[in-house]
Structure 1
Amino acid sequence: MNKQEFSGIENKILASRGRLESIQNEMNIPGQDDEKIALEKATKLELDKWLMVEENILKQKSRIQWLKLRDSNIAYYHACMKNRQVRNNVDRLVISTGQILQSPAEVEEEILSFYKGLLGTAAKQFPVVNPEIMQNGHILSRRQQLQLIKPVTREEVKQTIMDIDDNKALGCDGYNSYFFKKTWHILGEEVTAAVQEFFENADMCKAVNCTTITLIPTIHNPINIRDFRPISYYNILMSHELVKGYGRKNISPRCMLKIDMHKAYDSVEWVYIEQELRLLNFPAMFVKRIMACIRTVSYSVLINGKPSVPFEAKKA
């Protein structure tokens, strides 16, 4: 979908509807030929196309997952989208000194300063890992090691794409999985090659690993930066993947813990993670892949619908 073709949807709908009305008025005149009937049919199809495009755009923006009806719900989508935008807007902030920030520039600066301190700084001291304790616990077997580093096949890459919901967009460019499914005969080779190259060399393109953080208010009328919960879409995708099939009866007993991300991943130094992985006997190539995903990440905070300039994460 290129910008030129899919911009100005409302104007395209008005133009198509106007042409259709004009054609139908002409058809009221006796003696019309089959060419006019075919033209009416083609114009109807064109109008239906732009109406569907408009509905899909608004549906994605409103994030209504449960509504799958084919009828037009334009007004409803608009209302949901506007309500969500108003609820998530950060119009003012009260900082530690008691000062109230109200200008968009001051609010953005305060938010970025907070998250750069949380995600973009490294500790001066690292926790010490006791190798003896780690070796006396459960570590990976040779069979498990080989399973982790076995080659990723072309079929696995394609199946992973096909299993993603059509309306899920994994990146900030807005291209959802439906786009890749429908153009797989064109893009499939390049996508597969890029994925396999990462698994072979553990080289991660930084642009691919830019994560957008959305601020979700935890209370009504939030005024402090801590009144917002940072939500990364990648975290949501990962959590959904981990709990898939969790409630099945034919699996071993287990439990699930919900941990405050601020106290866990966001505060764990990367050197510590790497030490733990190596002591648990994870293969060197697997550790390299994990650390490539961690060390190349950058963050862009979505502030009032506008993504900020990305900043790099630094945890060692």
Structure 2
Amino acid sequence: MDSDGVWQGDANKVQEIVVTYYQNLFMALSNRVPIEDVLEGMVAGMMVDMSSNLSRPYTPEEVRKALADMVGMKSPGPDGMPGILYQKYWDIVGPDVTAMILEALNEGVIYKKFGYIHIVLIPKVQYP
């Protein structure tokens, strides 16, 4: 359907509608402030302790808390394991999971399989 509400069946017209929609969605508006200006103002106004807190390495306690806050029976990730497995068997898998996560967060070493994602399309209806 185009911007006038007219249904379009021609493939070229549909493509044009989609391209125009996303161009308008992501197009920079002329009154926006460059991100560099925003960041410069933030860094200058940041207190030293706040800055050091934001740049400190992640800790094993933070990894454990994040995992404990996961909803246990939600859909599993690419590894096929729901969060409850990690929560229930933390004393067994915890040290290895923590080491791997801290290595990714603090050192930037990310295992290839971390890049796999699940994309789920959820229809916008009252009861999906």
TM-score by length of 2: 0.59
Partner SS state of residue 166, structure 1: coil
CA apart distance, 1:191: 0.4
Evaluate the alpha carbon distance shift between residue 96 and residue 143 of structure 1 in structure 2; reply closer, same or farther with a 3 A threshold. Answer: farther
The corresponding residue for 1:138 is 42
2:112 aligned with 1:197, yes or no?
Answer: no
Which residue identity lines up with residue 180 of structure 1 in the other structure?
A: Y
Q: How far, CA to CA, are the matches of 1:208 and 1:136 in structure 2?
A: 32
Evaluate the alpha carbon distance shift between residue 187 and residue 130 of structure 1 in structure 2; reply closer, same or farther with a 3 A threshold. Answer: closer
Q: How far, CA to CA, are the matches of 2:57 and 2:12 in structure 1?
A: 55
Q: Which has the higher contact order (CA 8 A, sep 6+)?
A: 1
Evaluate the alpha carbon distance shift between residue 150 and residue 137 of structure 1 in structure 2; reply closer, same or farther with a 3 A threshold. Answer: closer
* Structure showing the higher strand proportion among its residues: 1
Q: Which runs of 5+ in 2 are unaligned?
A: 1-8, 23-33
The corresponding residue for 2:112 is 206
Which residue identity lines up with residue 50 of structure 2 in the other structure?
A: Q
Evaluate the alpha carbon distance shift between residue 97 and residue 175 of structure 1 in structure 2; reply closer, same or farther with a 3 A threshold. Answer: same
- Percent of pairs identical after alignment? 26
Q: How far, CA to CA, are the matches of 2:74 and 2:87 in structure 1?
A: 12
CA apart distance, 1:143: 2.3
Q: Which runs of 5+ in 1 are unaligned?
A: 1-93, 99-113, 119-128, 220-316
CA apart distance, 1:134: 3.6
Instruction: Pick from 162, 165, 182 the counterpart of residue 71 of structure 2.
Output: 165
Q: How far, CA to CA, are the matches of 2:56 and 2:67 in structure 1?
A: 19
Bigger radius of gyration among the two: 1
CA apart distance, 1:130: 7.3
2:116 aligned with 1:181, yes or no?
Answer: no
Partner SS state of residue 207, structure 1: helix
User: How many residues are treated as equivalent by the alignment?
Assistant: 99
Evaluate the alpha carbon distance shift between residue 158 and residue 138 of structure 1 in structure 2; reply closer, same or farther with a 3 A threshold. Answer: closer
Q: How far, CA to CA, are the matches of 2:52 and 2:68 in structure 1?
A: 26
The corresponding residue for 2:60 is 154
Which residue identity lines up with residue 138 of structure 1 in the other structure?
A: M
Which residue identity lines up with residue 116 of structure 2 in the other structure?
A: C
- Name the Cα RMSD after superposition: 3.2
Evaluate the alpha carbon distance shift between residue 135 and residue 212 of structure 1 in structure 2; reply closer, same or farther with a 3 A threshold. Answer: closer
Deviations 1:8-36 (A, max 9, x none): xxxxxxxxxxxxxxxxxxxxxxxxxxxxx
Partner SS state of residue 63, structure 2: helix
Q: How far, CA to CA, are the matches of 2:113 and 2:76 in structure 1?
A: 13
Q: How far, CA to CA, are the matches of 2:62 and 2:35 in structure 1?
A: 38
